[in-house]
Amino acid sequence: MPRAQVIAYVALGANLGDARATVLAAMQAVAKLPGTRLLRASSLYRSAPYEAKGPDFINAVIAVQTTLDGRKLLLKLQQIEIDAGRLRSYKNAPRTLDLDILLYGDSVIATPDLQVPHPRMFERAFVLVPLAEIAPDKVTTAQLAAVADQRVDRLT
């Protein structure tokens, strides 16, 4: 029996190399995953590193419809990060690519390597602003107001 399709939201970010090109390429790579199709992509945004140092990040959020379960989706996203040259040298290190599952349908997932909803998404303007762009029902005005002091610039 085929696995049910789920709408998942994935945050993308990069601040090393050609971050803009890397984020755009990652969107296409996610769209090509088995049983997965891209539904919506936010604009690209520039943001200062959050709780980290280094160059500004390019960020976006995408909505995908997928038959991959949460763990398989995570593993596929981690492979895309590796293919883009991602190294995990230390916590919050600058990175060529970071992909995070924000939401996976209505599921709550709590395993050592995957927590959904993403535990820190509501603390980060670089996640909430692009998520609100493509899924306004997923972000409240109060949640956006709580991160309004974090600089996030929409790119054209």
Question: What average pLDDT does the segment 106-129 reach?
Answer: 91
Count Cβ atoms within 10 A of the Cβ of residue 124 and give its class: 0-12 exposed, 13-18 middle, 19 or more buried.
Answer: buried
pLDDT band at 151 (very low <50, low <70, confident <90, very high): very high
Which residues are annotated as catalytic? 86, 95, 98, 100
Pull the structure tokens for residue 29. 């790579």
Question: What average pLDDT does the segment 136-148 reach?
Answer: 96
**pLDDT tens digit string along 90-114?**
555 567 899 999 999 998 888 888 8
Q: Does domain 6-154 have CATH number 3.40.50.300?
A: no
What is the DSSP code string of 72-118? HHHHHHHHHHHHTT----STT---S-EEEEEEETT--EEETTEEES-
Domain boundaries, the chain: 6-154
One-letter amino acid of 18: D
Q: Output the pTM of the full model.
A: 0.92
Query: What 3-state class would DSSP assign to 65?
Result: strand
Q: Tell me what pLDDT residue 19 has.
A: 93
